[in-house]
Structure 1
Amino acid sequence: MATKELPAYGDEYMHDEEEPTKCVGQRRGGWTTFPFITVSALGLSIAAAGWTTNLIVYLIQKFNIKSIHATEISNVVNGCTSFFPIVGAIIADSYVGNFFVILGSSILSLLGLVLLTLTATLDSLRPKDCKEHLETCEASSQFQLAILFSAITLVSIGMGGTRFTLATMGADQFDKRKDQGTFFNWYFFTFYLATIIGITAIVYVEDNVSWGLGYILCLAINAIGLAIFIFGKRYYRHIKPHGSPFTSIARVIVATIRKKKVLLSSESKDYYYGDIKGTFSPAVLGPTSRFRFLNRAAMKVEGDAQQQGKLSESWSLCTVQQVEDFKSLIKISPLWSSSIFLHTPIAIQMGLMVLQALAMDRHIGSHFSIPSSSFLVFTLLATAIALSVFDRFLFPVWKKLTHRSMTPLVRIGIGHILNIIGMACSALVESRRLHVVRTHNLTHQPSSVTPMSALCTATAMISLVIAVAFYLSTALIDLFQRITGWLPDNINEGRIDNVFWMLVIIGVINFGYYSTCAMLYKYNNIVEDSEQKSETAVTDA
């Protein structure tokens, strides 16, 4: 029987003739939606960067929270804003779609910014400011903290719900991969531009004009972004919820447990492939032998759920593709776990960098002072420059010398090495700062400030990794504070440089772990994969 030639996996077959039926409104989508989505992203991202970046300083100066504790709170908030996108994605994919998740999240963010603005403008919602040279300050009341943390919770949920969902919705407006790629390029350019504006212009207003005005600006920009997003509703293509990949993972686990006593079969007819019309993937040839026990989830047995006389996916029956996807996730998990400790030092340094900057002379001339939280812009700029150098110089030179492209694992390894070097540079800079402070018995370093270090990673890690890294950084800061004298509230009396040296040691150990995982990892080569399938898989006649 003649067979139709299948396109390469990942090509335009994903947008076959039946695909548009998933959308409401055939003529919606396309570049008409681009200005609405990108301008909305610009407004929401500026507002988010404006309040998150300067949170440590706000907690210290306006709520009299100890510096290290303020850093821990900030890390937890950053962890939540990186974790909430996962929750938002699950809700969008499984239930209500991207539009309503973004709409609801933006409204929550708006409400949170209203509360945050009130804490900055109403004296009754915050303690009295500390007077200089006083050893004790008035602590915040339970009511004041309740309002503050309610505001932070709302804006964190709102920020997390829009961060990546808005990008996904934007990509859904296009059918062609080229258009999607162009959209993503502009979207992330907009995102980083907004972040730079937020951590420079908005933070400057908060530090040098008033916190109230700074938060009012965040509130107004957030409201404008939300209004523009809503105004573009008539032009959006709305994709129906099709289920979350996290649900598929859970179903594979549950189905495997339910069928733990079922004997595995070597016959293709005993496995469920689902409706594979219009799709192609090597996995549909049959279950592989790796993690063979998981194949039970795709085995057909008596009692499996049926619809209209045919087997259907359920919590006791999964497709071969779903099982193989879960196996791939398990395969990559060791490498994934190593990236947590790649981001943890960065998360720790982000908070401590602000404390270092607060203790330094940040004046340029007699009238301008760099806001302490704006120092994070140096990391963004250094990262952008480093990535450009890698892309235009290092990678082409590598290919010329080795006659092959640099693999993703090697690129990540370079990120590990740069992370270690960055921590070592930070330790040396802090040692020098402390030497100057203690030699001259100063409360602030007299010299002008320069960037602490340039941290760069070779690839972007997923949101969950970043969230775990921020949570872990909070635990490590608490641990260092409890068992050492390195992190007192007055950092001039501490040894932040020792913290960085400890992170260097952790980084070296983690790099060894990563290198081991990378050496044991095998890429999915198309030819090798096909040969393996011919030996281990059972094919349907």
Structure 2
Amino acid sequence: MDSSPKPQYLEDQEAQTKTGGKRGGWITLPFIVATMLGLGLAVNGTTSNMLVYLLKEYHVDGVKAAQIANVVRGSLNLVPIAGAVLSDSYLGCFPVILAGAAINVLAFVLFTLTAALPSLRPPHCTLSSVECQQGSPGQLFVLYAAICLLAIGAGGTRFNIATMGADQFSSTRDKDSFFNWYLVFLYASFMLGDTAIVYIQDSVSWAVGFGVCLATTAFGTIMLLLGVCYYRMPATKASPYTELARVIVAAVRKGSIKVGGAQGSVQYNVGAGAVVDPSGDGAPSKSLRFLNRAAMITTSHKSSVSGDASAGAWRLCTVQQVEDLKAVVSVFPLWSSGILLFMSIGVMIGMIVLQALAMDRSVGPHFSIPAGSVGVSCRVSFILATLVLDRVIFPLWRKITGGTPPTPLQRVGIGHVLNVGALVAAALVERRRLAQPGVPMSVMWLLFPMGIAGVGEALHFPGNMAFYYQEFPKTLRSLATAMAPMLVALGFFSSTMFMDVVTRVTVWLPENIDHGRLDNVYWTLAAVGTFNFAYFLACDRRYKYHNRAAM
């Protein structure tokens, strides 16, 4: 009898047969896409217009409102990491997504109440002045409770919908195809949120706008439930994060233990009780050598190596576990270079809304572009750039280089450069706007820097995700896909701190930006971005790939 291991797709099919027939496949796509569209449209439409809601309905100062809005955006990208860990290690994707969707429904119930009930917001103020009454502690508590529920709900859905969708397919080709469709529909939901939801909130009423968000969220939740009989739901396995912790604990515990055997004959545990010499292929790599102690076989458990459990999982790890942790740790210098990149994006997104409010937003005699919708130009630019890159630029690159595609880090580096270019363009536009006091400048000028930022994002954001996915161990793929969104979260949090420092130290960001020097803020960020790009290049030069074949 053939004792070779079965391919993964056969194991998946057998597991599905045992649980009651064949599940998964493309039949699940409509349910997953509808869920994502319903939730994404509501969440993104609300966050895009959060700054305007705080300004107009709660009379929060402009810069402070931008900071709050960036904290919300950061939380929406940070909290989902907890949801990904929870689903990977304990519950599975579907229960976490369902719980997150239900929490989002509750969040939009609260948002709708804040807009519909006058007692839950300050009295209406027609003119922006010091006399405008801000929200009471009770009113702000309800608003912030809705925001917290929105972030918690997104924590259960934002990453896990993509993971559950990929779980429906066995072949790599189908999974790649699903991710392409996922990104298309994801950004389509962002665009609908930035335009339709924002327009309803600004031009009809906030209550109706939040009511529509509530309806689309409920629709997405219902579609998720309707597809339950078709979903493939793999059982959760042991937490890979625990294995990483075991390596650290074992290395620390054995920091002062004398290694068994003579000098030069240190032995390592390669799994299944095997023992190899460090000069052999099974020895740990030479990088981050202090972690190698976790796999060293000491005198205390050399006699019990054949039973790893008796040796203690928190005292003796395998060489593969050590290498998995090294793979994670080694990407952090490159990963850290993305924080300042997304910090500048966070500042630009918040400030461009304030610029739009001070500019001429009319398009013809009967229509005015909502300030919160200006950011949709970045979404459009992202989608168009992605199509051009995938269909034109990258194939041309392969022809020129003899079939070699651009590496993820090359795409990230070009994205860094374009982002600096977007900041320079934003500074020039703001300088022109300030040079014409009393003459409203067309909001269309803002489309230029936002378009450049969108092209840059089409390069650095997918490039980051591809890099982490390729370099991380297979057991940590969910963490890998969360690394890039984690940069978004930290970037938006950092943008809040950056604006706070600028407000305290300079006079560039007063409450009325017409009296400030926002262009100097953009020039400063462009300088920081240039320095950060140099740091990225230094990290790239020193990095040693763990999976060069996948590049």
User: TM-score per shorter chain, which class?
Assistant: 0.7 to 0.9
Q: Where does residue 429 of structure 1 map in the other structure? A: 429
Cα displacement (A) at 1:522: 2.9
Distance in 2, matches of 1:367 and 1:342, equals 38
Cα displacement (A) at 1:241: 1.7
Asked if the contact 2:327/2:546 (under 8 Å) is kept, the reply is no
Cα displacement (A) at 1:388: 3.2
Residues 1:315 and 1:78: Cα distance change in structure 2 (over 3 Å):
farther
Q: Where does residue 9 of structure 1 map in the other structure? A: none
Is the deviation greater in 227-236 or in 90-99? 227-236
Residues 1:352 and 1:18: Cα distance change in structure 2 (over 3 Å):
closer
Per-residue deviation, residues 401-459 of structure 1 (Å, max 9, x unmatched): 454443322221111110111100000001111111x2xx35x4367655141211323
Q: Where does residue 368 of structure 1 map in the other structure? A: 367
Q: Where does residue 294 of structure 2 map in the other structure? A: 297
Cα displacement (A) at 1:251: 2.4
Residues 1:16 and 1:475: Cα distance change in structure 2 (over 3 Å):
same
Asked if the contact 1:362/1:449 (under 8 Å) is kept, the reply is no
Structure 2 stretches lacking a partner, 5+ long: 275-279, 465-483
Instruction: Give the TM-score, by structure 1 length.
Output: 0.88
Is the deviation greater in 390-399 or in 289-298? 390-399
Q: Are positions 1:140 and 2:135 aligned together?
A: yes
Residues 1:305 and 1:219: Cα distance change in structure 2 (over 3 Å):
farther
Residues 1:225 and 1:267: Cα distance change in structure 2 (over 3 Å):
farther
Give SS of 2:229's match: helix
Give SS of 1:175's match: coil
Distance in 1, matches of 2:36 and 2:507, equals 43
Give SS of 1:368's match: coil
* Amino acid corresponding to residue 373 of structure 1 in structure 2: G
Asked if the contact 1:78/1:467 (under 8 Å) is kept, the reply is yes
Is the deviation greater in 29-38 or in 371-380? 29-38
Asked if the contact 1:304/1:317 (under 8 Å) is kept, the reply is no
Aligned counterpart in structure 2 of residue 472 of structure 1, from 494, 515, 521: 494
Asked if the contact 1:353/1:452 (under 8 Å) is kept, the reply is no
Instruction: Give the TM-score, by structure 2 length.
Output: 0.86
Give SS of 1:57's match: helix
Asked if the contact 1:361/1:449 (under 8 Å) is kept, the reply is no
Residues 1:405 and 1:40: Cα distance change in structure 2 (over 3 Å):
closer
* Amino acid corresponding to residue 322 of structure 1 in structure 2: Q
Asked if the contact 1:252/1:297 (under 8 Å) is kept, the reply is yes
Q: Where does residue 459 of structure 1 map in the other structure? A: 460
Distance in 1, matches of 2:362 and 2:302, equals 71
Residues 1:306 and 1:32: Cα distance change in structure 2 (over 3 Å):
farther
Residues 1:133 and 1:78: Cα distance change in structure 2 (over 3 Å):
closer
Give SS of 1:237's match: coil
Cα displacement (A) at 1:173: 1.4
Cα displacement (A) at 1:47: 1.1
Cα displacement (A) at 1:87: 0.2
Residues 1:517 and 1:71: Cα distance change in structure 2 (over 3 Å):
same
Q: Where does residue 288 of structure 1 map in the other structure? A: 285
* Amino acid corresponding to residue 417 of structure 2 in structure 1: I
Q: Where does residue 538 of structure 1 map in the other structure? A: none
Cα displacement (A) at 1:131: 2.3
Distance in 1, matches of 2:548 and 2:419, equals 33
Distance in 1, matches of 2:305 and 2:90, equals 21
Cα displacement (A) at 1:315: 3.0
Q: Where does residue 112 of structure 1 map in the other structure? A: 107
Aligned counterpart in structure 1 of residue 522 of structure 2, from 500, 507, 528: 500
Asked if the contact 1:30/1:173 (under 8 Å) is kept, the reply is yes
Is the deviation greater in 212-221 or in 130-139? 130-139
Cα displacement (A) at 1:390: 3.3
Distance in 1, matches of 2:399 and 2:281, equals 38
Q: Where does residue 279 of structure 1 map in the other structure? A: none
* Amino acid corresponding to residue 408 of structure 2 in structure 1: P
Residues 1:230 and 1:142: Cα distance change in structure 2 (over 3 Å):
same
Per-residue deviation, residues 100-127 of structure 1 (Å, max 9, x unmatched): 1111111111111100110000000000
Q: Where does residue 270 of structure 1 map in the other structure? A: 268
Asked if the contact 1:47/1:219 (under 8 Å) is kept, the reply is yes
Asked if the contact 2:413/2:460 (under 8 Å) is kept, the reply is no
Distance in 2, matches of 1:245 and 1:158, equals 24
Sequence identity percentage: 42
Q: Are positions 1:511 and 2:533 aligned together?
A: yes
Q: What are the within-5 Å matches in structure 2 for residues 78-97 of structure 1? A: 78-97=73-92
Q: Are positions 1:172 and 2:172 aligned together?
A: no
Q: Where does residue 65 of structure 2 map in the other structure? A: 70
Distance in 1, matches of 2:265 and 2:236, equals 34
Asked if the contact 2:429/2:445 (under 8 Å) is kept, the reply is no
Cα displacement (A) at 1:334: 1.2
Residues 1:379 and 1:526: Cα distance change in structure 2 (over 3 Å):
closer
Q: Where does residue 54 of structure 1 map in the other structure? A: 49
How many pairs does the alignment contain?
510
Cα displacement (A) at 1:152: 0.4
Q: Are positions 1:238 and 2:228 aligned together?
A: no
Is the deviation greater in 183-192 or in 82-91? 183-192
Residues 1:215 and 1:267: Cα distance change in structure 2 (over 3 Å):
farther
Is the deviation greater in 203-212 or in 29-38? 29-38
Cα displacement (A) at 1:305: 13
Structure 1 stretches lacking a partner, 5+ long: 7-11, 277-282, 528-541
Is the deviation greater in 299-308 or in 118-127? 299-308
Q: What are the within-5 Å matches in structure 2 for residues 263-412 of structure 1? A: 263=258, 270-274=268-272, 285-301=282-298, 302=300, 310-311=308-309, 314-403=313-402, 404-412=404-412
Give SS of 1:239's match: coil
Is the deviation greater in 289-298 or in 205-214? 289-298
Cα displacement (A) at 1:238: 1.6
Per-residue deviation, residues 320-343 of structure 1 (Å, max 9, x unmatched): 222111112222211111111111
Asked if the contact 1:127/1:139 (under 8 Å) is kept, the reply is yes
* Amino acid corresponding to residue 424 of structure 1 in structure 2: V
* Amino acid corresponding to residue 486 of structure 1 in structure 2: W
Distance in 1, matches of 2:302 and 2:351, equals 56
Distance in 2, matches of 1:385 and 1:117, equals 34
